[in-house]
Chains A and B, each alone.
Chain A
Amino acid sequence: MKLDVIPIHVADQPPGEPGLSGNAPPLLREVAEQVRRLLESGEPSAIDLSALPLTPADLDWLQEKLGAGEIAVTLQASGESTLNETACPGVWWVTHRNEQGVVTSQFIEVAFVPELVKAHPADVAIGLETLELLISDL
């Protein structure tokens, strides 16, 4: 049984846009500032979305504003992670899930390529060993 079958209705919805706290719009300014920094100094940065008082509606609003870009990366590493470029190049929406599919953390990352996507030199070296092994077997 899924948890969402337990009916929880929020009565007396507060007036205004449903569920919006007003905390999302300032985040867009911060993202813009971070993109400026990336362009000027190449310095990447990130915003931890789980650490901020954002409602699900706020997150939807942000995601809708930032839109979808050309690249969507899926990472299978003890649960699925998605690193999706938004319509603003250099701005990535990063969601980590555990093996049960529960979102464990969520970030907006500002970088040319998110750190997690890059291959680490030590791992590349292991890959090279594998290749050499393959070649020696030819």
Chain B
Amino acid sequence: MQGPLIDTLARQGVSRRTFLKYCATLASMMALPPAAGLAMAEAMAAARRPSVIWLPFQECTGCTESFTRSHSPTLEGMIFDMISLDYQETLMAAAGHQAEEARHTAMRDNAGKYLLVIDGSIPLDQGGAYSCIGGRSNLDILKEAAEGAAAIIAMGTCAAYGGIPKANPNPTGAVSVSDIVKDKPIVNIPGCPPIPVVMTGVLAHYLTFGSLPELDDKGRPKAFFGETIHDRCYRRPFYDQGKFAKTFDDEGARRGWCLFELGCKGPVTYNACATVKWNGGTSWPVESGHGCLGCSEPDFWDAGGFYKALSLPADPLKFAAAAAVVGTGAGVAIGFANRSKKGGAKSAHETTTLDDLEK
């Protein structure tokens, strides 16, 4: 199935107009000019699909679920048609040595050209023994796979910033992808889980313009993470008028007032939930009456309690600054072209044995 994307889609009953319409909406979500929708449709329809290797590390598979169980399967599933998915443990039929073989073949045949998608954090304690695939630590596999990658997409908060595995007291010594890989462009798509369309948008941008989209200081695509939840929240007028729900069942809650005092982290959280929404645009957390947890920010799990109001309404930077300090590793600015190559990444594998685990 290496033909142009449009043929693959046609076989699945997705018409050209459906595809054009989807691209128009995607371009709009990415704040690209309307003409970009058409350009994207044309480029993607004809594109040779890039090889993608998708590695799950210390994760819950929620990120994969977010993509594969989205509401309009044909369209969000399109990300799987836009790429040649050469390795994905959860989705592939092969197992064991065959699967490992498939990965090595893809890495060899597409050296320097494949996209590497990572979900999950990487545990470093005990020599990485907390999470192994085929007897090899995640750290080892990541280093090997990163070497030949054109770019890396860290999907979900765990891969982007360490996420829940890294939460205090971080028993496994979990770190993010960008804590380990320093010599490749990395796009962070945080969220617990991440919004599916962001992944589609990043791939569409890559296929259309041959480059990764513009990123913010935490490595996130600006098109989707350029504004806070609070900036685009429909309850914002109530916040501005000082009308807050005090409990989840009071008069204010029933009237749809702002959830700030119930712990909403919207003012310090950059994500697209308020505009893209969830479940096919049905609703999103604040719309269903619960404050934002801040899941797309580094160390959201340790940010002082989901139901504790942010300390100062007028000073959202406080939380952001604290998060930035803790997450320094994750927040490295991304320089694409002239990163010095990191030398001597180990290519020989060290196999983790049962003994290591019992140390």
Contact = CB atoms under 8 A, between A and B. Distances in A.
Do A and B interact with each other, yes or no?
A: yes
B48 interface: no
Interface in B9-31: 14-18, 20-22, 24-25, 27-29, 31
A6 B257 CA distance: 11
B261 to A, nearest CB: 18
Contact of A50 (B28, B256, B280): B28
A29 interface: no
Contact of B281 (A104, A107, A109): A104
Contacts of A12: 241
Given A120-B16, A122-B16, A51 B280 contact: no
A48 B255 contact: no
Interface residues of A, number: 33
B17 A116 contact: yes
Contacts of A11: 241, 243
A9 B254 CA distance: 11
A115 B20 contact: yes
Contacts of B280: 98-100, 102
Interface string B263-277: 000000000000001
Contacts of A46: 34-35
B281 A100 contact: yes
A105 B17 CA distance: 15
B177 to A, nearest CB: 31
A10 B243 CA distance: 11
A115 B17 CA distance: 9
B90 interface: no
Contacts of B21: 75, 77-78, 81, 96, 116
Contacts of A8: 255-256
A88 interface: no
A138 B98 CA distance: 52
A51 B16 contact: no
- Highest count of chain A CB atoms <10 Å: which of B15, B25, B71, B287: B25
A78 B75 contact: yes
Contacts of B14: 78
A66 interface: no
A74 to B, nearest CB: 12
B251 to A, nearest CB: 11
A123 B16 contact: yes
A100 B281 CA distance: 8
B126 to A, nearest CB: 47
Interface string A80-118: 010000000000000010111010110101000001100
Interface string B232-272: 00000100010100000000001110000000000000000
Given A51-B31, A96-B25, A102-B280, 19 more contacts: A7-B254, A7-B255, A8-B256, A9-B255, A11-B243, A45-B35, A48-B34, A51-B28, A75-B21, A77-B15, A78-B14, A78-B18, A78-B21, A98-B72, A98-B280, A99-B71, A99-B280, A100-B71, A123-B15
7 contacts: A7-B256, A45-B34, A50-B28, A98-B71, A104-B281, A105-B25, A116-B24
Interface of B: 6, 14-18, 20-22, 24-25, 27-29, 31, 33-35, 38, 71-72, 74-75, 237, 241, 243, 254-256, 277, 280-283, 287
6 closest Cβ pairs, A-B complex? A46-B34, A102-B281, A77-B18, A8-B256, A105-B28, A105-B25
Interface of A: 3, 6-12, 45-48, 50-51, 75, 77-79, 81, 96, 98-100, 102, 104-105, 107, 109, 115-116, 120, 122-123
